[in-house]
Chain A
Amino acid sequence: MNSKTLSYILRRIILAVITVWVVITVTFFVMHAVPGGPFVGEKAISEAAQKALEAKYGLDKPLFTQYVTYLKDIVTKFDFGPSLKQRGRTVIQIIGDGMKTSVRIGLIAAVIALILGVVMGSFAALKRNTIADRLIMVLTTAFVSMPSFIMGSLLLIIFAVKLKVLPANGATAGGMILPVITLSLSPMAYITRLTRSSMLDVLGQDYIRTAKAKGVPRLRIIFGHALKNSLLPVITYFGPMLAYIVTGSLVVEQIFAVPGIGRAYITSITGRDYPMIMGTTIILAALIVIMNLISDILYKIVDPRITLE
């Protein structure tokens, strides 16, 4: 890795930090501008209790003071504060619990999507215009265009209600299967289509024809020459896919009652649990920023011709 690459990565990291800071700032002020508060309910609590709670959590201070305190606590102590709703638990604890589940589901979904997508895409390209190819294309079109909340509900009805072979609750042992499938189908279909078209493109290149003419075995052509080069667009898709899985988890975790970060995020927003909203936003934003960065660096590793600027 030369110094140019290193300085590129460094610059990207600085930009990433700025990005996250912008997200923190915007979210912080927008969140406080939205009407309602963490202590409102259908039954109003007494004014005394309201005041005491606001004093306890520092919500009675001017907004800008709260903002500065918040930033300082994060930077100096990595302290995201206590949850205002789940009394006695800190944001870090809650996010930690949620991340464990979400990351597991997300990673499995991503790996499945990658492996199956590349395999099916290559297969379709090699079997171009056969029934198998057509079938794969029809299915992937359907999976790409179907939003996860429809796909999730559909799978739920078929496998959990009608066939009763899989649990509907994401918290139980086999409960991760359906959320993982739901999350992976769309990126898998997308990767299949990407791989297929780029594989077809590569297979028509001169160097492939040369290899064929030289008598290189077919499998060696596919795995040694064609596949690596056809994976470039797939790697570009890596970042967006992770983003899809992260945002998709908001919906999917709700449908399958998965105790993940997505559900915690939604609950915190409806409940105006300020520190939780901030914590989850920061974590998700950082995740997306980092994934994009990794995807760009991978890009460079796969294709040395690309110079990172």
Chain B
Amino acid sequence: MKKRLMAAVLASVLAVSSLAGCGNTGNTPAPETGDETSTTTEVQTQVSNPADEGLGAGSNAGADVTAETTEINVCFGSEPDTLDPALNSAVDGATFLVHLFQGLAKWEMNSSGVLEIVADAATELPAGVENADGTVTYTYTLRDGLKWSDGSDLTSWDFMYAWNRAASAALAADYGYMFEVINGYDDVADIDDDGNPLHPEAKLDVETPDAKTIVVTLKNDVTYWNELLAFPTYFPVKEDVVANEAWATDPSTYVCNGPYKIASWDHNSLIKLEKSENYIDANDISMGTINCYLSDDQNNMLTNFQNGSWQLIDDVPTNEIASIKSQYPTEFFNVGQLGTYYVCWNVNEDLLPAGSQYAKDENAKADIRRAIGLLFDRNYIVEEIAQGGQLPASSFVSMGLTDADGSQFYKNCGVSSDYDGYYDTSVNGYEDGFTAAVEALKVYYDYDEATGKFTNFPTLTYLYNTSEGHKAIGEYLQSVLAGVGITMNLENQEWATFLNTRKEGDYSIARNGWLADYNDPICFLDMWTTDSGNNDVQFGRGAHASVKGYSLDLTPYGVDVNVTDATWSETYDVLIKAIKSCTDKDSRYKMMHIAEDMLMSTGCITPLYFYTDMYMLDDSVKGFFSNPLGYKYFMYTTIK
């Protein structure tokens, strides 16, 4: 009997220990679901791909396509959660989808090596027509001869159906909100308390006067509308195909309209993409077969790259970066990504010593957080710890997002003309900042001049998700603070637990990261409204809900708001709402600067670096490109 009981206990222990002890092997510092776009000017400076020559022929000319039997082996992720364009929210899933589908627009690298968005299924991308009520209407015409991979005709109706489906509350897609710019979205997405659609009959403002024409009306002028059209969520699907809920899990039921179709799918192992004969531009596609191996183990990817089995891997082990860079100088790539790695503070955490005269003073807490943010040497972090070519961050809105005039948004934050962003990240600037920060902290804490340390700073705890990379950064932050007498303990949690803890605000300081969905600073700013699901800082919640420490004057931008000593929800939430409904581009961007100023003044966000996308590409591959969203394009590649 004893033995049987043991077996039961052991089996359950096995189950429980796996639950508790498993690290987050698949999650690298970059958020998984990030997507962002950039302007062509930005991308041009970032792409440093030595394999660029010959691209012109690959993408447009389409003349020399003799390589029907060519094959490439790549690995850009593990088994995709879904290959349904409406449901996908992952970067690796998007790479599959841009090969399998054709939207109204697409990313393309032109002959001079500049990434741009061009018309794809549409004949052209016309400008919108503004209506009297401020809404904007776009009219698209589909090219002749568009076909689904099953040979049937693709119509404008398929687009209309796909967009309504993706936006619907019934589908509950992660990226359903990508359609919020279209008129009518609010009704389509609305649900009751039980999660059922409130308006099941509601439709987006999209019309199809005939089989070739799509007329769509947006709530207002949206600067990134063409980028949305090239976004996988906007790709068409066929109604009778997607009626089968499992359609996107099996090659036999997978009907698409892009350059490739799924030839075979060995779950968790290999997805084989083969050129589709029904694709309208099939003659331009030089790569016949793409073998997409499915793996999430960075070490395994590297091994397969090193022994020549795979020509591209989309991830590398963090602790190998230094040696990879020197071993594979021409095959290791590091391109700009629109995201920020930062430290976030719980706004409700008390930072002052017991009995301090500044207790409950929100400005004092903001001062302290900002000062601590200046103690960290971001150059050291990117060069010695992260080592992936990241750039020191001096603002929350990442480098690469553009301002109203097309210049870098983060350079225009208006704090000082001596440096970009909110503080100086240069070597001298850092040293000055450090000294100033220590002086600022002396106001609130006892400082021992002899040892150069604060003596009554409360102990802090830094929370991060289990990963060597995050740990190393945590240890650096810890060592810097220890240097001035501040004790900060490190605590790590497994990925899903960590996300939950941070979301609930059950922490004092935590690592964080954000990747934009599109090239518009609003996607860095609207996440901090009181009710946002991403408001990890807990702005406007708990004790902070009643803190009246913020002012806002929007009268210069034609908005009737001018408040002082108001709460977060009376200021920041109002500001974000004003930005979203603003139709004047200049005012809109100026208000976004105000929003970021407000955020940074709280000190609750301590940016450390701007993300980069790292991958390895074999020297023999020509004609490859990737976009700033991290999507990889293999259709125009050839192997020498």
Contact = CB atoms under 8 A, between A and B. Distances in A.
A226 interface: no
Interface stretch (A2-10, A30-38, A63-71, A106-114): A30-38
A134 interface: no
20 contacts: A19-B7, A19-B8, A22-B8, A23-B12, A30-B19, A35-B496, A40-B503, A41-B499, A43-B534, A44-B534, A46-B189, A50-B533, A89-B246, A97-B267, A97-B268, A98-B268, A168-B309, A171-B293, A267-B78, A285-B14
B19 A85 contact: no
Interface in A87-136: 87-89, 93-94, 97-98, 101
Nearest to A309: B1
A259 B169 contact: no
B503 A44 contact: yes
A26 B303 contact: no
A54 interface: yes
B190 A264 contact: no
B172 A94 contact: no
A98 B269 CA distance: 10
Contact of A37 (B82, B89, B496): B496
Contact of B15 (A169, A171, A259, A281): A281
Contacts of A81: none
Contacts of B174: 41, 43, 45, 49
B16 interface: yes
Given A40-B499, A259-B269, A264-B268, A270 B25 contact: yes
Interface string B1-29: 00010011001101110111011111100
A100 to B, nearest CB: 10
A73 interface: no
B307 A164 contact: yes
B304 interface: yes
Interface string A12-37: 00010011001100110011001111
B32 A41 contact: yes
Nearest to B303: A168
A288 interface: yes
A21 B23 CA distance: 27
B513 A42 contact: yes
A289 B33 contact: no
Interface in A252-266: 254-257, 259-260, 263-266
A236 B466 CA distance: 39
Given A256-B300, A257-B295, A289-B11, A53 B172 contact: yes
Given A31-B19, A89-B249, A94-B267, A46 B533 contact: yes
Contact of A34 (B19, B246, B513, B514): B19
Contact of A23 (B4, B11, B22, B81): B11
Interface of A: 15, 18-19, 22-23, 26-27, 30-31, 34-37, 40-56, 60, 85-89, 93-94, 97-98, 101, 153, 156, 160-161, 164, 167-169, 171-172, 247, 250, 254-257, 259-260, 263-267, 269-272, 277, 281, 284-285, 288-289, 292
A117 to B, nearest CB: 24
B26 A267 contact: yes
A251 B294 CA distance: 17
B176 A46 contact: yes
B245 interface: yes
B42 interface: no
A171 B266 CA distance: 9
A26 B14 CA distance: 11
A254 to B, nearest CB: 6
A247 B79 CA distance: 22
Interface stretch (B191-199, B576-584, B629-637): B191-199
B496 to A, nearest CB: 3
A257 B195 contact: no
Contacts of A89: 246, 249, 267
B15 A43 contact: no
B307 A40 contact: no
Q: Which of B26, B34, B496, B500 has the most CB of A within 10 A?
A: B496
Contacts of A171: 266, 268-270, 293-295
Contact of A43 (B34, B84, B249, B297): B34
B501 interface: yes
